[in-house]
């Protein structure tokens, strides 16, 4: 079971020639750990997972799991998704024997599988990894919307312990009324958190935490506990979140990390094509 209430979805560092920069990616995770972050998501959508081939994902997995200062002291969640099921299953199988705490199971973009095909894809990945699994529904990015019936079916698998719902937030209200076991509902991103907590979201997959790890964790903890929030606190947090999500979020996020002396480099094109020397 995953213990951390908040995990930070970290970007992947790339060199100027767009090659993978494992060292800088790990340096950023180390910096978050020093600031008190308990959990990170590696190779998710913020990590540009669909720009990476299987070999690159395996390189990143090996580097993270061999770093005992990270894997032994943080909950590492690894993103597993591919337009090719066979590659997603291979990655899940490679994760199986590692110290990775769990996986975020995403769905292939563009190809629009049927619900039955998506369920079978999920079952194969769950079986291959044998890790705690968070389902990831993000129809805006993938074009595919995992149905409520499919979520309920997959929730019956022992390893499936939650869902990151970046589609219709109201889905969570219905799921909570139907799923009897302990189940976690991850907000996908930091915007609108007060409303999402009211709907039943009880965990957070944070992007803004890359820049404000302590502040985001404290803010979300306060919302979950039901503590009163002042207007000043609300405005301050809104300003921080808007700062991260304005314009081209990944570009600005990497620039903010770069300002700390960690060379996150560029995003893989076409991201960044219209921005000159932002990094």
Binding residue positions: 46
Of 131, 164, 196, 254, the catalytic one is 164
Tell me if residue 152 falls in helix, strand or coil: helix
Alpha-carbon span 92 to 119, nearest angstrom? 16
Alpha-carbon span 203 to 10, nearest angstrom? 16
Alpha-carbon span 178 to 167, nearest angstrom? 18
Of 136, 185, 186, 212, the catalytic one is 136
167 contacts: CB under 8 Å, gap ≥ 6? 137, 138, 139, 140, 145, 146
Binding residues for pyruvate, as ranges, are 46
164 is catalytic: yes
184 is catalytic: no
The residue among 123, 121, 161 whose CA lies nearest residue 144 is 121
| Enzyme catalytic residues | 136, 164
């Amino acid at each position: 079971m995953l213990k951390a209430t908040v995990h930070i979805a970290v970007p992947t560092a790339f060199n100027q020639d767009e090659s993978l920069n494992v060292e800088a990616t790990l340096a950023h995770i180390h910096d978050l750990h020093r600031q008190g972050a308990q959990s990170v998501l590696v190779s998710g959508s913020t990590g540009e997972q669909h720009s990476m081939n299987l070999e690159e994902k395996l390189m990143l997995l090996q580097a993270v799991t061999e770093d005992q200062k990270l894997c032994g002291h943080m909950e590492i969640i690894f993103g597993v998704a591919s337009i090719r099921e066979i590659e997603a299953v291979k990655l899940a199988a490679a994760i199986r024997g590692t110290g990775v705490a769990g996986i975020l199971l995403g769905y292939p973009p563009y190809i629009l599988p049927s619900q039955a095909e998506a369920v079978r894809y999920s079952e194969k990945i769950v079986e291959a990894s044998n890790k705690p699994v968070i389902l990831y529904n993000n129809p805006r990015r993938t074009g595919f919307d995992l149905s409520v019936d499919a979520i309920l079916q997959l929730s019956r698998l022992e390893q499936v312990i939650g869902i990151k719902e970046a589609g219709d937030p109201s889905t969570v209200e219905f799921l909570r009324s139907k799923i009897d076991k302990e189940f976690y509902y991850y907000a996908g991103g930091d915007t609108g958190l007060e409303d999402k907590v009211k709907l039943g979201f009880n965990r957070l997959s944070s992007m803004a935490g890359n820049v404000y790890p302590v502040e985001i964790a404290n803010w979300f903890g306060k919302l979950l506990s039901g503590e009163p929030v002042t207007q000043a606190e609300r405005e301050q947090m809104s300003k921080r979140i808007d700062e991260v999500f304005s314009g081209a979020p990944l570009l600005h996020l990497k620039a903010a990390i770069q300002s700390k002396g960690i060379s996150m480099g560029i995003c893989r094109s076409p991201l960044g094509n219209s921005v000159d020397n932002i990094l």
